[in-house]
Amino acid sequence: MARLVMKFGGTSVGSVDRMKNVAAKVKREVEAGNQVAVVVSAMSGETNRLVDLCKQVDPVHDQREYDTVVAAGEQVTTGLVAMALQSAGVKARSWQGWQVPIRTNDMHGRARIAEIDGAAMLRDMAAGVVPVVAGFQGVGPGDRIATLGRGGSDTSAVALAAALQADRCDIYTDVDGVYTADPRIVKKARKLDKITYEEMLELASLGAKVLQTRSVEMAMNHRVRTQVLSSFADVAGTLVVDEEEIVEKQIVSGVTYSADEAKVTLIGVADRPGIAAGIFGPLSDAGINVDMIVQNISEDGKKTDMTFTMGRSDLDRAVGILEKQEKNLGWVKLVPDRNVVKVSVVGVGMRSHAGVAHIMFKALAEKNINIQAITTSEIKVSVLISADYTELAVRALHTAFGLDAE
């Protein structure tokens, strides 16, 4: 007997028939002797509909009221899925965030879970009653409804699994696992049986949309074995686990890319002390995260070119802020560029294996792809390239690191 949390996303509960499919999957686990808690998202499209209503009423609305409105989406699903389970002969009841309670802080719209009291649910589970818990929501100070922000249902599921000391958290979604690369781009991409928390965290941060970053952090911090698998296909997914569980470590486990990048180059900036602070201070004050930075020192040592990247949605704001500093910084030319992509290779094996960057640069050079900037961590190497070469670069790296399926 195991204790499981099963989480179903918006497409998995997108219609009455799909909810019945969810009930069948849960029933199978219950009949196998497992204690199960279910976490559900809003039906697909519902959250967008509710967010649109809020925007129509007032584009700059009270986040507490926004939370009240959008949390209704998950509430509906909990009741319907509980009914579907009962209809399939499985005892079940719905739980809203305030009923559990799932206590959060007061950052409405992107609240963080502070505490989950799983006692009542554990009693139900021991009595064979499946709790169907609203994902994405909790209850903040003053008993106000709070939501965790987009994708928060994954975080709810992992946090609940931690609180219930579950043996595993299964995240059912519309893909059947984590791949070595996006299968739409790389035909030879392979599904991974296992991946470490650290790798999954890098992949999530670097643009892979399988799991929400915060849910992976949560899984890593509480060592929750988390499986990503398909609601629609009946096959094992990818297990996100502790590094120790993975016997044969690949140097690189996956190749990913993020198109959500933009680049600014300041040509001919005076090369004097404090210039970097003059550029990055105002950006930081405006809440703009700068990711990669490259500085080319000019030959005479008096002028320099600065290149740096940020999220694409921040570009216009960043340019506006920099233009206000033009006198102060005194550049010759400011060149914004949206046509860039960040391609990354990720793997815990890198820690014990030199030469990953070398293999990466060589593979890209062979395809005549110019590297505009580089950033690394202990388990990843990322490069910025022209967006024109996205697919070519991902495929070349997938081959170069021996990831192609046979």
User: Quick one: which of 20, 312, 317, 353 contacts a second copy (CB under 8 A)?
Assistant: 20
* Binding-site sequence positions: 7-10, 47, 74, 173-174, 179, 184, 209-210
Scanning residues 145 to 164, which ones bind a second copy (CB under 8 A)?
145
Could you give the CA distance from residue 151 to residue 135 in angstroms, rounded to a whole number?
A: 9
CB of 75 or CB of 399, closer to a second copy: 75
CB of 62 to a second copy, least distance (A): 6
Answer yes or no: are the C-beta atoms of 131 and 124 closer than 8 Å: yes
Measured from the CB of residue 28, what is the shortest distance to a second copy in angstroms? 19
Residues 267 and 333 sit within 8 Å (Cβ to Cβ): yes
CB of 135 to a second copy, least distance (A): 15
Residue 243 DSSP SS3: helix
Quote the CA–CA distance of 241 and 327 in Å, as a whole number. 52
The yes or no reply on residue 110 touching a second copy (CB under 8 A) is: no
Segment near a second copy (CB under 8 A); pick from 89-97, 175-183, 216-224, 353-361: 89-97
What does each C-alpha distance from 221 to 30, 136, 170, 232, 242 come to in angstroms?
28, 19, 17, 30, 11
Dihedral (CA of 168, 172, 173, 177) sign: positive
Could you tell me if 323 and 334 are in contact, meaning their C-beta atoms sit under 8 angstroms apart?
Answer: yes
Q: Which position has the token pair 């690189």?
A: 252
Per DSSP, the chain holds a count of helices (H) and strands (E) of 12, 20
Contact status: 83 vs a second copy (CB under 8 A) = yes
Q: Pick from 35, 38, 46: which is nearest to 8 by CA?
A: 38
The correct pick among 143, 244, 299, 300 for binding a second copy (CB under 8 A) is: 143
Q: Which residues are annotated as a binding site for substrate?
A: 47, 74
| Residue selected from 11, 44, 51, 61 as contacting a second copy according to rule CB under 8 A | 61
* Least Å from the CB of residue 220 to a second copy: 33
Residue type present at position 170: D
Total chain residues near a second copy (CB under 8 A): 38
Residue of 31, 62, 234, 326 that binds a second copy (CB under 8 A): 62
Helix (H, G, I), strand (E, B) or coil at 101: coil
Binding site for a second copy (CB under 8 A): 16, 19-20, 50, 53-54, 56-58, 61-62, 64-69, 71-73, 75-76, 78-80, 82-84, 86-87, 93-94, 96, 98-99, 143-145
